[in-house]
Amino acid sequence: MEGIFYALLPAVAWGSIVLVSVKLGGNAYSQTLGITLGALIFSVFMFFIKMPDMSTVVWTVGIISGVSWAVGQLYQLNSVKYMGVSKTVPISTGMQLLGTTLFGVVVFKEWTNKTTVILGVTALICIIAGVILTGISKKEASNKDENLKKGLLVLVISSLGFLGYVVIVRWFEIEGWAAILPQSIGMLGGALILSVRHNPFSKYAIRNILTGIMWAIGNIGLLLANPKVGVAVGFSFSQMGIVISTLGGVFLLGEKKSKKQLIFIIIGCVLVITGGVLLGMTKN
């Protein structure tokens, strides 16, 4: 039961990040800066509790990973102004799952037998279908289609950033507890470099320190869950957060959706989650 609780932490925390950040206000630059500040504060605290072994490779890889995350998070938040939270998060989640899965299959040779290939292909079909359904919009306004195209382009950049964040740590086999401090330093550095021209230093950056602490709690939850429930369960549970952010965008932020759109979005979320669960099963 304790392991399941830890596994739910990233779902709740990460699933709420975009929703809470938008609610706290500010632009994508101040929001990203605030998130990275919160993550750094939390990681410094955890570093002195765990005192992991560090090396030059750990510091270098962790910082590069953190900079990649900053790119991913900044562009994800930027896409919200084009598509809203209820579309951005499911599509972003789907793109990240597709990217990390394809990279894992091609580079890390994760699908080693017939069962994992069947599960994996089914998962990819579910994710692609879910993303398509989530992106369906009304045809009446051409500017909506233009915004969708812009939002998707921004999300492609975001997903590449998140992909780099995950892959480089795995490539060098950096232990999770050792990675969190250099990652958070890279996150803050990346956020400053990307946002310094956009005057991110505001009350909204201070507010979003809370969002950064939420992100860090989710990260710690995943680290604690994996040894107790396994990577497959931990990975699968972490995908459940899109329900919170997607429905929260509609019901808490008041993003207008027709009944048909809402049905498509809910079905799309279910398909993306199903794909995430199936991908988790391939990692057993």
Tens-place pLDDT, residues 100-141: 888 888 888 878 899 989 998 998 999 899 888 887 766 545
Neighbours of 258 (CB within 10 A): 10
Distances (CA, A) of 109 to 101, 116, 160, 167, 194: 10, 11, 20, 13, 34
Q: What is the pLDDT of residue 195?
A: 94
Report the predicted TM-score, pTM, of the whole model to 2 decimal places.
0.89
Burial annotation 147-160 (CB, 10 A radius, 16+ → b, else e): bbeebbebbeebbb
Burial of 267 by CB count in 10 Å (0-12 exposed, 13-18 middle, 19+ buried)?
middle
- Residue by residue, DSSP assigns 83-141 as H-HHHHHHHHHHHHHHHHHHHHHHTS----SHHHHHHHHHHHHHHHHHHHHHH---SS-
Tens-place pLDDT, residues 222-239: 878 767 766 556 666 777
Neighbours of 196 (CB within 10 A): 12
Band of residue 142 on the pLDDT scale cut at 50, 70, 90: low
Q: What share of the chain in percent tops pLDDT 90? A: 51
Tens-place pLDDT, residues 196-215: 999 999 999 999 999 999 99
Band of residue 275 on the pLDDT scale cut at 50, 70, 90: confident
Asked if residue 37 lies in contact with residue 185, where contact means CB atoms within 8 angstroms, the answer is no
